[in-house]
Amino acid sequence: MKKVLLSIFGYMFSAVIILMVCAVPVFGIYELGKTTWYLTQFEHDTGTVVGCTGKRFKHKSKYAYVVETKKGARITGRWYGSKSHCEQQKGKTVAVLINPENKQKGVVNSFMDRWFLPLTLLSLPGLFLYGYLKKRKEKSNNSYMN
């Protein structure tokens, strides 16, 4: 019975790992497609960081900067960091992408807001595969020595 339960647990664990390895890059491709869509469909503009907005994450607050364009659109960044970092950004000019159909809607066009998440999600399966292949190679080298 113990053998059967361990076998079932092993298969379930393997299924979860395979699902993660497959689902993570799919979400990364979705985010990359969304970024590409924003870059091709929205108008490029600039705005000035005018403030910060906070959001509570588990036991601490993180802050994203709020950008205001010349036409009055207020856009909140997607990347949340420390309050001090956010405060340092006040007054800086940043690139934004504005929806041509609704000039009050847009997104911040920075590396952290547009590219960091998709690139991270697309690189994770490669790191898992590298670790797996390295471990497998070490096992095969050890089996030849015995």
Whether the model pTM is above 0.75: no
Q: 22: pLDDT confidence band, cut at 50, 70 and 90?
A: confident
Q: For residue 18, list its beta bridge partners.
A: none
Indicate if the pLDDT at residue 34 is higher than 80.
Answer: yes
| Relative orientation angle of helices 116-145 and 2-41, to the nearest 10 degrees | 140
**How far apart are the C-alpha atoms of 20 and 13, rounded to whole Å?**
11
Q: Express each pLDDT in 96-141 by its tens digit.
A: 999 999 988 999 998 888 899 888 888 887 787 788 778 777 777 7
**How far apart are the C-alpha atoms of 36 and 115, rounded to whole Å?**
10
Q: Cα 87 from chain centroid?
A: 23
**Arithmetic mean of pLDDT over the chain:** 85
101 three-class SS: coil
Say if residues 79 and 110 touch (Cβ distance below 8 Å).
Answer: yes
Q: Give the pLDDT of residue 95.
A: 93
| Mean pLDDT of all residues in 78-101 | 89
Element (H, E) at 72: none
| Mean pLDDT of all residues in 70-94 | 88
Q: Cα 5 from chain centroid?
A: 36
